[in-house]
Structure 1
Amino acid sequence: MSTQALPTTKAPARPLKVKMERVNWSGTIILILCAVTVLLPLYVTISMAFKTTSQAVDGNAFSFPSPISVDGFVEAWNLTKFPVGAGVSLFVTAGTVVLTIFLAAFASYAIIRNWDRRLFRWSFFYLLAAMFIPFPVVALPQIQLTGRFGLDNPVGVVLLATMFQLSFSVLLFTAFLRSIPLELEESARVDGATTWQTFWKLI
């Protein structure tokens, strides 16, 4: 007696229901208002920059400049001596970055490799404590000191900016130097490298 397999029929597939995400209208409205509060002052600033003096004082800050004028930029360029100011800013920025990296790297290397000595350990904590001193507390005394020593010039600004950035820079450099194995330096010394060569080429 033979048996025949009955054909299997597949159940009809159910239509997939696409769930529509609900729009968060309250959040959307808040974001739109925040965008308006940022873009509106930006538009007023840009439009006022391209207006003439008579257009700027007419009382309508939201009007589009017609005609567009660049006289304000030319006058600001001449009155403020912009090339000289930009050159001084570039000098102060470059000098501060180079001097901060140079001093922070050497100080951090000396502190980390002599951590077992009390002088270096307390020097690190001293620099770390300087980060918690509010800037307005030391700003006026430092300005007076630089004026007395004749450093009320770009060089004095570089020294002041370096002094204020040194504490945080030492903290970052010490965190980096802790990740370098001491055995790597010891192997370099075995190969005949001096302290300067180890620091310059390896660190």
Structure 2
Amino acid sequence: MLVDPELLLSYGAETVTFVAGDVIFEEGEIPKFYYQIESGRIKLNHYDEEGRELILALLTKGFSVCELLLFIDERYPVNAVVFEPSVVLRLPKSKFIQLLDDHPKISRDINKFLSERLYSKYIMLENNSSPSAEVRINGVLDYHKSFSSEQDQFAFELPITRQQLAAMTGLRVETVIRTIKKLEQKDVLKIINRKIYY
């Protein structure tokens, strides 16, 4: 959990419930709230000029949603879309900034978290520029596993579908499926009941 939910509530956060398909914010909107996921999953996506979806992140319980934009005067470059029922704590930007001013340790923790995510994004960008489908997929697997407590080999269940994996890597679904099978043959991952374990 990035920020203790009770602390967020004490600063005036409200609990908001979303259903699959709800849009929390759209590309081009001005950031007005700090969002922290209590349950469910949310994707950050963008559509290219041909209408293809590019998934930039899949966020789960404990993650915040585009918090970095609360520190600069820029509009959202992505959409935040709920893809399974979710409960989110929402705190107005001004109150979030006040919380950070009042609690310097939380501010440092958020800086560390942002730095870790930015580092991982650089690695993902490097991997996604590779012509190798294996390198791209391994990059996504490493990225998602880095946020899990399950670090043993094959202990981490990848919480995304093959379609989402394709949207994250810029690969076709067919290529993702073939590459996952190759990675299983190389003992990089396991497939159990159609789920990927890494």
Q: One fold, TM greater than 0.5?
A: no
TM range (shorter): under 0.3
- Which one has more relative contact order, counting CA pairs under 8 Å at least 6 apart? 2
Kindly indicate which of the two structures has a greater share of residues assigned to helix.
1
Q: Which has the larger radius of gyration?
A: 1
TM-score (norm 1): 0.23
Bigger strand share: 2
The TM-score, its normalising length taken from structure 2, stands at 0.23
